Each structure stands twice: as C-alpha cells, then as structure tokens.
Structure 1
Amino acid sequence: MNWEKEAGRLADRVADPDSRWLAPVATVPRHELVPRWWEADGTGAWVLRNGADDPAAWAQAAYGDRSLVTRVGPLHADRAGPGDRPEGLPTSSATLPSLVVRMLRHGRLGDGLSLLDLGTGAGGLTAYASRRIGDHLVTSLDVDPYLTEAAGVRLAAMGLLHPTFVTADATTRVPGAYERIVSTVGLPAGPGLRPVLAALVPGGRIATTIGRTSLIVTGWKHNDGDVVGVVERDTAGFMLTRSGDDYPPALTGLFALARTSEGETTGIGRYPVVDVAEAWELRSMLEVTTPGVESAFETDGETRTAYLVHPDGSWARATAEWTDPPEVHQGGPQRLWGALERVRNRLNTEGSLPLLGARVRITPDGVVHLSRGGWRGSLGDR
C-alpha cells in the first residue's frame, strides 16, 4: 500500500493548504491504527473486516474521511473471529479525520501546551497532536485498557514514543493537570464532568461535546473554577462516555411497552414523524428540556414510527404514512411527544433554536448553563 500518497490525499481533503494540521494528517499511517473494523451489513448485523485480506479496501476505508467502528458492545474487532456477530451499540471507533481536525482546532493547541486527549479510541487524535506539538506534551485517556495499550504500541511503531497513555474512567478520576483538553466522547453534564474540569488548569481551554447532544462546547477556565465559552456553530455526534466494558442496557422494557401499548392518551401529532437521533439540533434541545430521553426509529419505506422513552416510565409512539400527521400514543408521567413538538414549534416559529452560538458557563459542579438573548437553559442540574 502506498500509504503516503493516500495520507497526502486525505490531508488535502481535511486541511487547508496553509493549515498547521496538513502535515500531521499527511504523515500518520492511519491504516496502521485500524487493521480491523466492523461494518454494518444493512440488516442490523455487524461484519468483521480485516484490512490485510483486501489492501485496496483497507486503503479506501482508512484514508477515506469516515469513521470506522472498532468495537461493538464489549467485542474489539482486533480480537474477533470471522464468525463473530456482535450485538449492541458501537463502543469505540476511529473518528473521521475531518472531525478530529475540527476538534483540535477548537482546542486551540499551542507550542509548549500540555494536551489531554479524552477518548483514545484508535489513537488518531493523539497521533495528529503528537506530530503537531510534540508527543511528550500529549496524554491520552480511555476507560478501555486494550485501547490505550494498542494505541501506545501502534504509535510507538510510528516513532511516537512519548505520549502518555492512561486507563481511567474520566467520570470519576482524571489524573494530572492540563492546559488543553479535547474530548472525542460525549461528556456527561453534572457530577460526571467534575473530574475533567478539575484537571483543566486556570487559563486552560476545553473542547468537548456534551453527552446525548451534538453540541460542541468550548471554553476557558477562570480562576474561580468556572469555564466560560460558547456553543460552537458546529456539531458532532460522538459516543457517550463509558464507565465500564459496555453501555448500560437500554430501556428495553419501556421500548417494548411503547411498541404495543395503547397508552393513556391518543391523539394526532402536528408534525411528520422524525428520527430524533438523526435530527441533531432537535435531539440536543430535547436533552435540555427533557433530559434522559432515549429514542428509536423504524420504517419500511412508507410507514414511519418513532419511539421516545424516559427512565421515569414515560413513553411515546408516533406512527404515520410518510409525511402525514402521525397517530401518537403516550403513557407515563410525562408527555414526551408533546415535549418534542414544543421544540419543533419553537424551531418553526423562530426559524432556529437558541443552541448554536449560545453563551456557556460550566460551574465546578459540572452544570452547563446556556444563554442566548432572553433564553436560558441548563444541562446536568436534574
């Protein structure tokens, strides 16, 4: 494989000709970070891909601007056999390079400034940052010991011998102190964010997404411990921070109830059925107004059905033919489809939601306070 040529093409795609990130992307053999990966086969099943079996497909995958899933549930692609068919959600990936570069830009890295990379994954961000500012300034943290070990070995083979790799749960402990923190996992607002904030030195800068949202939050830490910044006019869909070997089980019982129950109320919705997980701004605003909601979506091409469930026992099901007004069934203490429609009302009335560009203040307790004009919202205080 002529990886130098492929990496050069990738660099030209994801960085401008005068960018300081052009050379790091062009000089990292990304295929070595992802020798095996999982691909969805279109039926919901995961199929193992081994790069060495098809070098052309390996090059196309590794040097395309795409994310590659490297772990599903607790099963790493590196450790899987040809017949393995894991079930569950992706739990680690090699993030698409253009998004890695965008997050590094949001982080405002600089010469001599220490960096914490939260969410080692395949090691791509650590590799790019090490090329740019020097590997001795970079620390990479992940909850998965295999990921930190594998990334360390693979980066060392590239001549990057000095990044520090730490295995820890960032929601409970972040060793060290850093002048820059860039996270490629969605950090939880509230108590789980406290250890990360404590590891950022006064005057330091953080760039992260907030869990269950697509919001990229950046800010500078003040001497009083507050981090003050903005919601960038940019979005990202990172995996949630994990505290263990896999994500906690989804609210499967409630989803089953939502699929079959008549519910306590039945009505006609105002707007067409939407896949909430893919409607990033709607999903983000729903997390602000009704935190903790999980969603699912099904379609056979004509009939579209969306489900919302909440840990308090609330659920909603909306079904319609294509763009027709949906029939909505709801149960539990909250009316979740009503909460979603209030967000959509605001979007349609005002033409936008007040999230992107909002001012941010993150207090040491991990609560994310948002404001824009006369609007106020928060994450992590409930």
Structure 2
Amino acid sequence: MERTPRHLLVPRWWGWGRDEQRWELRDGPDAPERWLSEAYRDQTLVTQAGTLHADHATKADRPAQTMPTSSSTAPSLVVRMLQHADIYDGADVLDVGVGSGYGAALLARSLGDDHVTSVDVDPYLVEIAESRLADLGMRPRVLAVDATGDLPGTYDRIVSMVSVPTIPPSWLAALRPEGRFVTTIANTSLIITANRTSGGRWAAIGRVEWDRATFMATRSGPGYPPDIRGLFDATRDQDGEEVSQGRYPVLQVAWNWELPSMLEVVAPGIEHSYERGEDGWHTARMVHEDGSWARATGQGDAPPVVHQGGPRRLWSILDEIRHRWVVEGDLPLRGATAYISATGRIRLERGDWVGRIG
C-alpha cells in the first residue's frame, strides 16, 4: 500500500453535493491538497455515476440520485477481501471488478504482473485502469469481460470487488483444484468464502464470514436496469388488504447490516424506502416486483400502523425476523456453512437453521 499511489489512479471522482440530491465533480489536480486528503483517507471514492464517468464530466454536470456504477473501494476493505481470499506467493489471482485499478495494483505489487488478471464489464474502465497502471510501471492482464460469463484461464484465487446474486458457475469452472473464491452477495452485507471441492455433491464448500461488507452488484451493460421503485408511488396511500399494528417500531431497514441481509435470504428482491417527518412520525415502505407491498407508519418507538397488500405480507416477514433476533439475540447468517452447487446456488446451514440463496 505504501508503494501504490492511489491518487494517481483516481484523479477525478464524484462527491455527494451539499443538498444530498446530486453528485458533484471533484477534480484532483484543481485542488491538490484535497486530492491527497481524499485519496489517502480510508474511504470509497465513486468514479462513475450511472453512465457518466468522472473522467468525462464537466463541472456543470451534476447527476441526480444516480446509482454509482464504479468506484475505488476503500483501501482497508480491499485488503480485507484479499485476506479472506488467503492470497499466497505464486498464486494466480482473478480480480473481478477492476474499478480504478487499485485492487489490481496491490495484487501486482505483491505477486507480480504475471500472476494477476483483472476483469470488468465496462470497456472504458478496463482501458483507463490499464493505462494508469502502466504509468505506475505495472502491467497485469486487464480484460473487458462479463465476469458472470465465461472467464479467460484458470486461477488459484478469485477475489470479487462486486456482489453477485448467486455464484456464477464460470467461477467454479475457472477455479483450480482446492482453489478459493471470496465475494459478497448482492443486496446483503454477507461475505462468502469457499474452496473448490474435488468431487461429490457440492462444487465448493465454505462459510459466511463473521466480517461484513457491501459492494455494487454485477451488471451486464453500461448501467443498471430500471428498478421497481416506482411501486412506492403506486402504493403510497393505498389501504391494502390488511391493516394491523406492527410488533416493533418503524426503522430504516436499509441502514442496518443484519436485517436486510437476513431478509434478502428469506424473501429476496425487496426494495425499501424511508421517510422521517419533522413531527416525529416516520414511515417505512417495502415493495416487491411480485406486487407485494407494505407501509408502516409510527411515532417515535411506538408500534406502527401497518398497511399491506399483494400476495405476501412483507412487513410481517420482517417482524418475524426481528422477533427471532430479539428472542435469540442473534441471527444465524454469519458463521453459517455455505454449500455451493455446480449451478451456483448456495445452501446455508447453522445449527438447525437452513437458508438458501438462489
């Protein structure tokens, strides 16, 4: 890390504007002191908002509420993921999600260029990362590849700096015997590590680490497809088929580490919205593409009034998870054994609890 000048890999990036509604361009060479301060702080720097990379932006560009599609991950998180991968001298490593090239740079410094391959679905990210790495005297192999499809070569280690809904079968095919991968699961903070098996029912066996992290999800195009958040407006004032009193107070689900992770395993694909009024009332909404929705409104820590509709009762599912947490003092995700099939589906087991991803 001492020998890797991160600021040269991130000369421009996006910062959140003061109104917290739009991105604002940060140009490093225009403000050298801030450039160094931001680059060497342990933080993630967003380099692409939607389809607009900071390299191509003008100071007049201010993307509004656009999801990030590339970044330079916080240095400590990059190192933690490499530690989970159990990197060793001589290992051939696939770095999934080149971003700014920082992860590939650390690997190349440690292992040598010939042992590092970095891939990304975005051709520009590959082009500029390869160029800036070369300027630093490093030439790992950097390729424009959809990491959820066929991969070039075989590897001892796969380290993913993007999240996946399930394990791509191509990763399992590209791992050498006893090879190991580390990744996060999309819409959760779960870090899964697993080693390829030599045969039998499971293609790889590992566990959910006690650590936690979140990454952008893999994508197949320049941006993410439209989400289902328009359903929030469609159900804003509906009574629904069921109106009841919730068991626990309203909370901002997405700001929690454990609850959204458990919810994604039990009922994947739920989107969340949260609003807090100046009078102490707050409202949480949940929607799913199957038409299920929930709206919980309460004041302070009082039990909320809950409206629910569609084929499933989403807030009731959330309350069941919260109740288990209160009763047992823990949720069974972290530390669970992970069994990965050849198709990439994951079976989780911890004690008498069984969960499935995919």
Structure 1 and Structure 2 fold alike (TM over 0.5)? yes
Give the Å deviation of 1:303.
2.9
1:217 alignment partner in structure 2: 192
Counterpart selection for 2:171 from 183, 196, 199: 196
2:263 alignment partner in structure 1: 286
1:308 alignment partner in structure 2: 286
2:122 alignment partner in structure 1: 144
Give the Å deviation of 1:322.
2.9
Query: 5+ residue gaps in structure 1?
Result: 1-24
Quote the Cα distance in structure 1 between the aligned partners of 2:343 and 2:274. Answer: 34
1:306-352 per-position Cα deviation (integer Å, ceiling 9, x unaligned): 22111111111112223222221111101001111111011111000
Give the Å deviation of 1:40.
1.1
Quote the Cα distance in structure 2 between the aligned partners of 1:298 and 1:197. Answer: 42
Aligned 8 A contact 1:258 1:307 in 2: no
SS in 1 for 2:60: coil
Give the Å deviation of 1:253.
2.9
Greater mean alpha carbon deviation, residues 39-48 or residues 361-370: 39-48
AA aligned to 2:7 is H
Quote the Cα distance in structure 2 between the aligned partners of 1:304 and 1:68. Answer: 31
Distance 1:253 1:181, change over 3 A: same
2:157 alignment partner in structure 1: 180
2:50 alignment partner in structure 1: 73
Q: TM-score, normalised by structure 2?
A: 0.96
**Pairing 1:30–2:9 present:** no
1:115-156 per-position Cα deviation (integer Å, ceiling 9, x unaligned): 000111111111111111112100001111111111111111
Greater mean alpha carbon deviation, residues 258-267 or residues 274-283: 258-267
Aligned 8 A contact 2:272 2:286 in 1: yes
**Pairing 1:91–2:66 present:** no
Query: 5+ residue gaps in structure 2?
Result: none
Give the Å deviation of 1:188.
1.7
Quote the Cα distance in structure 1 between the aligned partners of 2:170 and 2:191. Answer: 19
2:228 alignment partner in structure 1: 251
Quote the Cα distance in structure 1 between the aligned partners of 2:69 and 2:282. Answer: 27
Aligned 8 A contact 2:207 2:335 in 1: yes
Greater mean alpha carbon deviation, residues 279-288 or residues 165-174: 165-174
Quote the Cα distance in structure 2 between the aligned partners of 1:344 and 1:279. Answer: 12
Counterpart selection for 1:113 from 83, 88, 91: 91
Greater mean alpha carbon deviation, residues 152-161 or residues 289-298: 289-298
After the TM superposition, which residues 1-382 of structure 1 pair with which residues of structure 2 at under 5 Å, given as runs? 25-41=1-17, 42-87=19-64, 88-161=66-139, 163-189=140-166, 193-224=168-199, 226-300=203-277, 302-380=280-358
Quote the Cα distance in structure 2 between the aligned partners of 1:146 and 1:357. Answer: 38
SS in 2 for 1:365: coil
Quote the Cα distance in structure 2 between the aligned partners of 1:86 and 1:154. Answer: 25
Give the Å deviation of 1:194.
1.4
Aligned 8 A contact 2:229 2:271 in 1: no
Quote the Cα distance in structure 2 between the aligned partners of 1:278 and 1:257. Answer: 24
Q: TM-score, normalised by structure 1?
A: 0.90
Give the Å deviation of 1:262.
1.9
1:98-118 per-position Cα deviation (integer Å, ceiling 9, x unaligned): 000000000111111100001
Quote the Cα distance in structure 2 between the aligned partners of 1:175 and 1:307. Answer: 43
- Count of equivalent residues: 353
Quote the Cα distance in structure 2 between the aligned partners of 1:305 and 1:126. Answer: 43
SS in 1 for 2:71: strand
Quote the Cα distance in structure 2 between the aligned partners of 1:103 and 1:290. Answer: 27
Quote the Cα distance in structure 2 between the aligned partners of 1:28 and 1:336. Answer: 47
AA aligned to 2:171 is V
1:336-375 per-position Cα deviation (integer Å, ceiling 9, x unaligned): 0111111101111100000111111111111011000111
Give the Å deviation of 1:300.
3.7
Give the Å deviation of 1:379.
0.2
SS in 2 for 1:255: helix
Decide which structure has greater helix share: 1
Aligned 8 A contact 1:116 1:181 in 2: yes
Quote the Cα distance in structure 1 between the aligned partners of 2:21 and 2:340. Answer: 38
Output the aligned Cα RMSD: 1.3
Aligned 8 A contact 1:103 1:182 in 2: yes
Quote the Cα distance in structure 1 between the aligned partners of 2:286 and 2:171. Answer: 30
Quote the Cα distance in structure 1 between the aligned partners of 2:73 and 2:281. Answer: 33
Quote the Cα distance in structure 1 between the aligned partners of 2:88 and 2:142. Answer: 20
Quote the Cα distance in structure 2 between the aligned partners of 1:367 and 1:64. Answer: 37
Give the Å deviation of 1:293.
1.1
1:12 alignment partner in structure 2: none
SS in 2 for 1:38: strand
Give the Å deviation of 1:84.
0.9
